[in-house]
Amino acid sequence: MAVSKHRRAFVSPRRLTVLALAGGLGLAALPVALALPAASARAGEVETVNEIATISYAPNSYIIGNAYSGWTDVIQGPAEGGGNGLSYRWGYLYGPRFDSCAWIGSGQSSDDEPANDMCGTPQQQDTAYFEATYTNGTISPGVSDGSPTTRTGATDCGTGYGNVEPWEVPATPGSPRAVASTDTLLWRYVTKDGNWVMVRDTDTPATQGNPGATVPNWFFMPRDCLNLED
């Protein structure tokens, strides 16, 4: 089980922490309030995300957000396969409305400089852990690509969000994208606070292997905008 999954940096900008670690400073040289995880003996890499990348809690598993070009990921350890022909990298990833250890696809970020590891043991698939940590207990019983939804007729449903930090109560949206009333949305789970639903837009191409993508196909919608079907 990973440790320090959602550890917060208490100074701004967050990159100050990364640069301090990359520069080889001891933890004593950093503010105590940072409460950083102990650095491991294995060196990591500060990398810059170079395209939209879906973020998952474990390789080839539930998606918990999206990384965007210019975000920072402190990668550690080798790439791991997810049993789907693709490989993934584990690291401390942060940008607007996301700050956690998580996975993105291999090749979706570029090396910048060395750094100490900032995460614990890479998280693997554990549905009970996922349900308790990221959801309010409502998970689609359908296939991994999502189950059908219908629209409720609520107002202000024309915007989805790439990130909300689904483990937070309350969750706060960021990285908006337009959603048409005619878009076909499939749902996966409801966030821990009960206010957001992770959905897949079947009309938007996947981002992995698609560096030209301009919006994510997995994102969050307000719960009151959707009827969730089995």
- Which pLDDT tens digit goes with each residue over 190-205? 999 999 999 999 999 9
Whose structure tokens read 């997995």? 218
Residues 127-179 pLDDT 10s? 999 999 999 999 998 778 899 999 999 999 999 999 999 999 999 999 999 99
> Using an 8 Å Cβ cutoff, are 108 and 53 in contact?
yes
Taking the C-alpha atoms of residue 49 and residue 222, their distance in angstroms, rounded to an integer, is 27
pLDDT above 90: residue 15: no
Taking the C-alpha atoms of residue 92 and residue 46, their distance in angstroms, rounded to an integer, is 9
Residues 32-69 pLDDT 10s? 223 334 444 346 899 999 999 999 999 999 999 999 99
Residues 59-114 pLDDT 10s? 999 999 999 999 999 999 999 987 788 899 999 999 999 999 999 999 999 988 88
Q: Which residues contact 185 (CB under 8 A, 6 or more apart)?
A: 146, 149, 179, 199, 200, 201, 202, 221, 226
